[in-house]
Amino acid sequence: MPKEHVNPASLFASVQYGFSQVVVASGAKTVFISGQTAWNVDKQIVGRNLGEQAKQALRNVKMAVEAAGGNLADIVSLRIYIVHHGEQTLEAVGRALRDTFATNPPTSTWIGVASLAVPEFLIEIEATAVLE
């Protein structure tokens, strides 16, 4: 069954910020992706600012879901941890999400944190995907 992205008029218009309010999904396999950061395969941080690190973390999410046999369209939910999250971080993260999920974005929850596992990390993104 294809995923159904629901953005009711009774909730604020979220797609412009890079996420859907509701995704209804059923499938044969559910994939849980650990938090992905801006590390590349050599454990080097890619990006010095939040926007660059968000793009790398999302590239890592893409590689993880593909390794499980899926693709970005199979991702139904994200949990995004942002160091010192506030109004100033909205555009950088939103742009990375819009660039990655051009159509039918997943749901997401953004959580402000004081720090992550490595002091240089500015963002970490967990994902859940449902594959047919």
Instruction: For residue 9, give the CATH number of its domain.
Output: 3.30.1330.40
Q: Give the tokens for residue 116.
A: 């992550």
Question: How many angstroms separate the Cα of 90 from the Cα of each of 10, 14, 67?
Answer: 22, 12, 29
pLDDT at residue 37 greater than cutoff 90: yes
What letter represents residue 126's amino acid?
E
Q: Which structural domain, as residue segments, surrounds residue 69?
A: 4-131
Could you report the per-residue pLDDT of 69-113, keeping only the tens digit for each? 999 999 999 999 999 998 889 999 999 999 999 889 999 999 999
Of 14-18, 57-61, 62-66, minimum mean pLDDT range: 14-18
The confidence score (pLDDT) of residue 88 equals 85
End-to-end CA distance of the chain: 7
Q: What's the average model confidence in pLDDT over 46-74?
A: 97
The domain tally of the chain equals 1
- Sign for the CA dihedral angle at 74, 90, 85, 83 comes to positive
